[in-house]
Structure formats: structure tokens, C-alpha cells
Amino acid sequence: MQKVFSSRRDFLRTAGLGIAYTMVPQFLTCSKSIRKEKLPNIIIIFCDDLGYGDLGIYGHPTIKTPNLDRMALEGQKWTNFYVAASVCTPSRAGILTGRLPIRSGMCSSKRRVLFPDSAGGLPESEITLAEVLKTKGYKTACIGKWHLGHLPRYLPTKNGFDYYFGIPYSNDMDDVSKLPWKQKFWNPKTEYWNVPLMQNEKVIERPAEQTSLTKRYTDETIKFIKNNKNNPFFIYLAHTMPHVPLFASKNFQNRSLRGLYGDVVEEIDWNVGRILRTLNDLKLSSNTLVIFTSDNGPWWLTYKELGGSAGLLRGGKGSTWEGGMREPAIFWWPGHIKKGTITDIGSTMDIFTTICKLTGAKIPDDRIIDGVDLRPVLFGTGPSPRKTIFYYRGTKLYAVRKGSYKAHFFTEPGYGKNRKVKKHNPPLLFNLEQDPSERFDISKEHPEIIADILETCLLYTSPSPRDLSTSRMPSSA
């Protein structure tokens, strides 16, 4: 019988009691070389709107990403790694709670993300990875874009993070320019968007100087690493870029063959290198797991060359085609992770469960956790336990992947005017191992596979969603 916690505080109080009794982390069973008294540091680098094909190691011909390429060669490059949703807010809820956004209510079919006039945010009842790690004595920081509620009760400091430095929502919100759409995005200036930069719960700059955000986020990350080098730490570094409007610092402007978008990605890569060098200089690299991925696919359909590339994958941000939800993912932990290219299926929700298992932190047992433990793949002891991916658009299930096969019950363009939902009966069916671009529908040839996937859907249940779009702040607030 599951124990039901009346509040997040009850869970943290109960889980915290375990610190005195479980000093040896569970990851020792998988990696014997880790010293028993040391808990691993965790850094998650989460980009915004980066496409599957935007890194050199993932095949981009003109964007140069030597640091991420080296990180992948020294660790694991995943080729079948998914996010919880194809847009910002629900995807971020998924990675931090290990749960499908439908379970927390952080999804909507009306307003797909939170806006500056939204009254909602991540429910107090949800338990974040930061809160779980706090019970093990971790120092925690959220640096970058939050997008899980901008009101005081929803900020990172109320969700397990000791420190916050970043913007509370997307960098294209708080538009005060009154300029034509193309003019402001193709020739962006910081003053066009009155986005606040916050430190903890205080606005320290408005509008945020977006040309320096990538570097300043990295500066804050390095500072936090240095200040906590003698403690276990967890840093959730959620870059604002390459979400539009695109901004690069002076040193990276007009540098990439790919144009402004390439400038922005190459600056992110350079700053990843700064973080890895800091870990090496402080002799922390052998005790620090670094994970690099992104929140959803690229926004190329609307923003053309200002958006990224999904590579050979179909679609992009906002859609349930592969290009909307399959992301580059790199795991780096020198001396522990088995190097290689991983074709097993994984999800950002699995990060929650995997890190809990690595650190010996208690996984909440009063609710469904959708993440699975990826340690067997990381340490080369077995395959991924994940076999299924659910593709939601808002509150509606559009597609399911089971093993090699993906069935689309509904399809819809990610963005654009006059877009229409298409219902498919029978569902479209693709073998993603042989046809990752989802070009060849094989539903007529394999009705038994569709039947198996439909049976999986019937076995899968979820609670009624609490729609985050139901309450809004007055526009004048």
C-alpha cells in the first residue's frame, strides 16, 4: 500500500530521516570505484529549442561544437532520447518531477505554456529533483530559464533550490516593442522584451541584457561549483538560448557559418567547455555527472533560419512527430560511464529516477513516477528498462512508441495558422529503427502491432488533468 503524503513538506521530513541510516549510496552496486563517502555532484544542462541535428556530434555540417563533441566521445551519446512534451512548460515539469505533465496538471490544450499573465505554476504537492536531493544534503541551484510559474510561491526557491539566477519565463515574452513580427525577431534588441532577470526572489535587471545571458549563467554556475566544491551539489542550468529572439555575446557574433543561430549554439558549446574545465581544475570531474539535453525540438517551421534543425527527424517544436520530442542527449562522468553511442530508449523523466538511485535518495511512493532507472545503460550492465514513449500534445495523447514502432492516433502541425488536427483510423504506423523520418506508413501491413500498442494504451491510465490555463492574472497586474 502506498503511503500518501499530505504535503511536500511531509515527504521531505520523512525522507530526511533516511540520511542518518543510508549513508552508502545505491550507485556503489554499479560503480565500485566511487569512494563510499562521496555522493556524486549532478549538473543538468538544459537548452531551449535545440534541435536533434544542431550539434556537430549529431551531424550538423556547419555548427562547430568541439566541447560537446568531446563530452559525447568521453561519455555517452544517446540517439533515442525523448522529452516529456514538445513545448517548454510541460517539458520542464517532466524533467524536474520525473512525471508526465498530465499528472501534475502542467499542460494545456488551450495555452500550451505559462505566460506572464498566468496565475498558476508547479503545484505545491509536486516533488522536484532538487527537493529530493536536499534530503541527502545537497546544495542546489537553478540557473537560467524557469517557466514553471513566475509568482513568488512558484519560484525555484520554493521548489527545493537554495539559489536562483535567471529569467522566470521565455525570453520572447513581455513584448513591449509594438513592432512587426519579422522586424523584431530578425533584428532583435534587448529593449524589445521587458523580461526580468532575477536573483532568488528579487528582480535585479529589467529588461534582462540578453546578449550576455549565456555567459552570465555559466559564470553563476562556475561560482556555485567553486563555493560548494566540498559539498555534494546539484545544478540545473537551463539556458535561455537558442529560443528566439536569438542573442549572442560580442565575441560570438558573426562567427558561425550557420549565421546567428550557429553563433548562439557555438557560444553555448564554449560555455559548456568552461564548466568541464572548472570541474577538471578542481578535481571534481570523476565525481560529477553532467547531462546535456534540450526541452523540445527546434522552432524552424515558424522562424525559418532563426530556428534549428531536427536533422533527419520529421517536424519540430510543438508537434508530436519525432522532431518535436526526440533530443540530443549526452551523459558525461569520467571513469564511471561506459563510453559509446546508445540506441536504447530514454527520457528526461528517467533522469529523476536515475539520480535518485545513484544518490540513494528516496523516490516518492505516494504517486506514479514515470521515470525509470537508466543505471544499467550508463554503467554497461544491461539494457534500458524503458520501452514506451507517450507523446502528448497538451492534455491529449497523440502518439505512442513501443519498442521500434510508433503509432500516431492524431497528427497536427506544431504551429501555424489554420492548422488542423487529423485523426487516423487506423493509426499511422512507423518503424523508427528503419524509418526515423516517419515517411513510410506500414499500418496496413502490421495490424497486430497496432493492436499491441492500443492494448498498451488501455493498460496505461492517468488522472484527469488540472489545466494550467484555467486561471489567469489580470493583464494589468
CB hemisphere CA count around 172 (13 angstroms): 19
Q: How far apart, in whole angstroms, are the C-alpha atoms of residue 294 and residue 218?
A: 16
Does the annotation count 147 as an active-site position? yes
Among positive and negative, which fits the CA dihedral 405, 293, 241, 109?
positive
Give the amino acid at 462: S
The answer to whether residues 195 and 183 touch, using CB atoms and an 8 Å cutoff, is: no
Does the annotation count 336 as an active-site position? no
Task: Give me the count of residues in the chain.
Answer: 477
The answer to whether residues 293 and 46 touch, using CB atoms and an 8 Å cutoff, is: yes
Alpha helices in 19-98 (DSSP H): 66-74, 88-97
Q: How far apart, in whole angstroms, are the C-alpha atoms of residue 317 and residue 52?
A: 11
Among positive and negative, which fits the CA dihedral 309, 314, 318, 324?
negative
66 Cβ neighbours under 8 A, 6+ residues apart: 56, 269, 273
Which helix (H) or strand (E) segment holds residue 355: the answer is helix 348-359
Q: How far apart, in whole angstroms, are the C-alpha atoms of residue 371 and residue 470?
A: 28
Q: How many C-beta neighbours within 10 Å does residue 377 have?
A: 25
C-alpha pair distances (Å), 192 with each of 115, 172, 184, 302, 353: 17, 9, 7, 19, 40
Which one is catalytic: 47, 60, 142, 147?
A: 147
Burial class (CB in 10 A: 0-12, 13-18, 19+), 129: buried
Q: How far apart, in whole angstroms, are the C-alpha atoms of residue 252 and residue 45?
A: 20
CB hemisphere CA count around 382 (13 angstroms): 8
Q: How far apart, in whole angstroms, are the C-alpha atoms of residue 1 and residue 424?
A: 39
CB hemisphere CA count around 421 (13 angstroms): 12
Which one is catalytic: 88, 107, 142, 356?
A: 88
Q: How far apart, in whole angstroms, are the C-alpha atoms of residue 260 and residue 248?
A: 8
405-411/76-82 β-pairing = unpaired
By C-alpha distance, which of 104, 173, 152, 64 is closest to 392?
A: 104
Q: How far apart, in whole angstroms, are the C-alpha atoms of residue 329 and residue 346?
A: 9
By C-alpha distance, which of 98, 97, 109, 84 is closest to 466?
A: 109
Q: What residues are annotated to the active site?
A: 88, 147
